[in-house]
Structure 1
Amino acid sequence: MSEIFEIAYAAATNRLCLFTGTGFSKEVSNGTAPTWKGLLEELCDILPNSVKLKASLFPKDDPSPLNLEETAQVISIKLAAQDMDIHEEVAKIISRIELGDDNEDIEDFFSNRSCRIVTTNYDKLAENLTGKNTFQSITPGLPIPRSSSNVKVYHVHGSIDSPPNMVITSEDYFKFINSDSYFSRKLSTVLYENTVVILGYSLGDTNLKAIINDYKAFSKSHVVGSNIFLISRSSIDQYVKDYYFHCYGIRVLDSMGIKNFFKELNKEIPKAEKISEISLKSIREVVYEKRTFKEEYLKLEDSFYQIISAIAAEGLSWNNNLVVVMIGDVIETKTNLTKEHNAWEQYEHLARWLIYLGAIFEVSQTSIEKKYLEAVLRSMTTMRKGNYIGYSWHAYSSWKNRWSSMIVSNRVLIKKYIEANTSWPDALTVVNDIDS
């Protein structure tokens, strides 16, 4: 999967940030870490009349009267009346959580790689996964370490190391959202500077959504590809994926559990490490010294994904005219390679490259739009459903199967362009797929 290679490349170039939520802690603790709701119910159990309180706050047959932060505030008031502090009680519960078994692939990554981890979890499970690797645990209320480390864990909502500073109640959340703290600024910074992978987390946090949405505006104005991925164990409908990208610039990788994600990532990292330094050097030579990629290199399907990853690692904008020239030359060369004798795999490569490009950023009204659409037209008019001499069935299969993976605005753009420039039936079949 090209997206996994892109994430592996970020890891190889020390530009990977993992954003972990409750689902991550549940995964690595074999399910013993409580959900947010489960944690609040456990707090109720230490109060008098707990059954009545839980029935009121968490009714079985009706919606809860309050959101979870407000529910936590109610419980906090009840605890205070018993001379107990909600932050201390939560710290006691969380401190009992331990790592489970069968975390080999996750531990392999955490103990051997460099990365940044931003978490809303209070536990120290991420730190425990690092083994002998050097790490820093950074928590509100405690001094910021100034030494270097391979793994930095930012507890933006606090941790059990400093219970009074944990963000639990609605009052805590209001203070967090409205404060310009080191942690709120750091969260914003890592989105700008890294490839971010969201693990075990939903988009329920208002502050997070605001920051991610701010980055979405930045990435569009600077014509850089989306660098935020959401890993989902369950299958997610295409319209939901479109919503995630449109509102937050997030690419969804579904039907993939957290452990399987790290298993696939660990497979790709050695290859990414092997080529990262060379590909960065090549990008600089092609962009700044006006050299060109060799045809033998561009014949390889992986070459395009390496180029795209290197563009991001170098911090280049696709609105940079030098980058546009480079991408245009690469696409043109690949298109010409499809004209060689028995170059059937090149047809398939070209289709996949264009689909991947269309899944990364919104093409409309950017300087790459014209060259991109011309290449799409070439690809779609040389494909055909079924085996026919001179046409690529594999290219058709790629377009048909991956059409829905592209950003919805790009699908609309391509549909209009294809309908205006060709009557080729198989091309029209793809762009008019109403289920996508």
Structure 2
Amino acid sequence: MSEYFEIAYATASNRLCLFTGTGFSKAVTENDAPSWQGLLESVCDEAPNPTSLKEALFPSTGNNPLDLEEAAQVISIELTNVGKSIHHEIANQIRQLTLKGDTSDLVKFLGTRSFKVITTNYDKLLESLAGNLSCQSLTPGLPIPRSQARVKIYHVHGSVDSPDNMVVTSDDYFKFINAESYFSRKLSTVLHENTIVIIGYSLGDTNLKAIISDYKGFSRNHVIGSNIFLVSRSTVAQHIKDYYSHCYGIRVIDQTEVASFFRQLNAAMPEAEKRMADSIDNIRKVIFENNSFTKNYLRIENTFFEIVSSLAAIGVSINHTRVVKMFGEVISTKIELTRENGAWDQYEHLARWLIYLASILDLKGTSIEKTFLDATLISMNTMRRELYVGYSWHAYKSWANRWSGVIGSNRTLIRNYIETHTTWADALAVVRGV
């Protein structure tokens, strides 16, 4: 999948940031890590009347009367009355968590690669996976290390290293959201400068959603592709994928366990590392020195993903005049390659390239909209659902299987264009979801 090559490429160019939540800790402890509500329920046992407190906050029937951070505030008050601290009680429980199960795929990646981590988890499990000696663990309330490290882990909600500074109660969340702290500024900066992979996190935190939403406004204004991925172990409905894409610019990789994600990422790393150095040099020559990519280079499927990733690496907008010109030449050359004898793989490549572009960039109103739509019309007019001489069956499969991954607004844009410019039944079947 192109997503793994893109993430691997970002890793190779030192631009990867993992964004981890409770689901990540559950995955590496065989579910020993508690849910947020489960943790609060267990802390209730330290209060004078735990049974009545639990029933009031987490009734066995019906919905909880309070949000979890408000419930934490109530528990905090109860514990304070008996000389205890909810922060320290939570820290004591979290410290007991240990790694369990097969974490070899995670250790292979986390223990050797350079990356950053933004985490709302209090635990230090990620430090153990990455190798404590290679990590800087940054926590509110403790000094900020100034030296370099292979891995930097930002505990934005605090960690067990400084329990008093953990974000637990509604008061803590209010202070966190409204404070212009080093960690809130760093979080915003990291989102703008890196490819983000969200693992084990549901975007339930209002402050984090606001920062990601701010990032999407930036990406639209500068016409850069979405660089945020959400990895989900369960199937995510298309309506929800469209919501994530529209509101936050997030691409979803669903039906993927944590270990499986890192296994596939490890597999993509050798090719990404091999291509990274040369591709950045090449893209600079093409964009700034008016060179062109060779036909032999553009015959390779990963080339297009490489080009898009290298644009992000050098910080150039997709809407830049020279970039638009380059994309036009690249797509035109790919179309030429489809017309050579026996070039069936080129039809499939063209389809995949166009699908990929439509999955990362809202194309309506951009300078490459017309170039993209004309190429899409050619691709769809030369594909066929059944095996038939002169038409690409694999291109049809690519469009049909990946149509749902295209940004919702782009699906509408493509559908309108195809319905206006062709009567080809198989093209209409794809865009109409038949």
TM-score normalised by the chain length of structure 2: 0.99
Q: Equivalents in 1 of 2:396, 2:127: separation in Å?
A: 47
Q: Which moved more, 1:140-149 or 1:393-402?
A: 393-402
Q: Equivalents in 2 of 1:91, 1:345: separation in Å?
A: 56
Identity of aligned residues (%): 60
Q: Report the alpha carbon displacement of residue 132 of structure 1 after superposing the two structures with TM.
A: 6.3
Aligned counterpart, 2:392: 392
Q: Report the alpha carbon displacement of residue 60 of structure 1 after superposing the two structures with TM.
A: 1.5
Aligned counterpart, 2:70: 70
Aligned counterpart, 1:244: 244
Contact 1:133 1:150 in 2 (8 A): no
Q: Equivalents in 1 of 2:198, 2:286: separation in Å?
A: 33
Q: Which ranges of 4 or more aligned residues in structure 1 deviate by more than 3 Å? A: none
Structure 1 runs not aligned, ≥5 long: none
Aligned counterpart, 2:376: 376
Aligned counterpart, 2:23: 23
Q: Report the alpha carbon displacement of residue 253 of structure 1 after superposing the two structures with TM.
A: 0.2
Residue 137 of structure 2 aligns to a residue whose secondary structure is: strand
Aligned counterpart, 2:4: 4
Q: Equivalents in 2 of 1:291, 1:309: separation in Å?
A: 18
Aligned letter for 2:279? S
Q: Report the alpha carbon displacement of residue 101 of structure 1 after superposing the two structures with TM.
A: 2.8
Q: Equivalents in 2 of 1:143, 1:327: separation in Å?
A: 47
Q: Equivalents in 2 of 1:418, 1:70: separation in Å?
A: 51
Deviations 1:394-425 (A, max 9, x none): 11111111111100100000111111111111
Aligned counterpart, 1:299: 299
Aligned letter for 2:284? R
Q: Report the alpha carbon displacement of residue 107 of structure 1 after superposing the two structures with TM.
A: 1.1
Deviations 1:9-53 (A, max 9, x none): 001110000000011111112211111011101101122221111
Residue 17 of structure 1 aligns to a residue whose secondary structure is: strand
Q: How many residues align?
A: 434
Residue 383 of structure 1 aligns to a residue whose secondary structure is: coil
Aligned counterpart, 1:261: 261
Structure 2 counterparts to residues 41-60 of structure 1, below 5 A: 41-60=41-60
Aligned counterpart, 2:169: 169
Q: Which moved more, 1:41-50 or 1:221-230?
A: 41-50
TM-score normalised by the chain length of structure 1: 0.98
Q: Report the alpha carbon displacement of residue 133 of structure 1 after superposing the two structures with TM.
A: 5.4
Structure 2 counterparts to residues 17-416 of structure 1, below 5 A: 17-131=17-131, 134-416=134-416
Q: Equivalents in 1 of 2:209, 2:132: separation in Å?
A: 34
Q: Equivalents in 1 of 2:172, 2:133: separation in Å?
A: 33
Q: Which moved more, 1:25-34 or 1:359-368?
A: 25-34
Q: Equivalents in 1 of 2:386, 2:25: separation in Å?
A: 48
Q: Report the alpha carbon displacement of residue 7 of structure 1 after superposing the two structures with TM.
A: 0.3
- Structure 1 residues 19 and 324 mapped into 2: Cα distance closer, same or farther (>3 Å)? same
Q: Which moved more, 1:224-233 or 1:390-399?
A: 390-399
Q: Equivalents in 2 of 1:416, 1:110: separation in Å?
A: 45
The CA RMSD over aligned residues, in Å, is 0.9
Q: Equivalents in 1 of 2:110, 2:392: separation in Å?
A: 43
Deviations 1:128-166 (A, max 9, x none): 112265110101011100000000000000111111110
Q: Equivalents in 1 of 2:233, 2:387: separation in Å?
A: 36
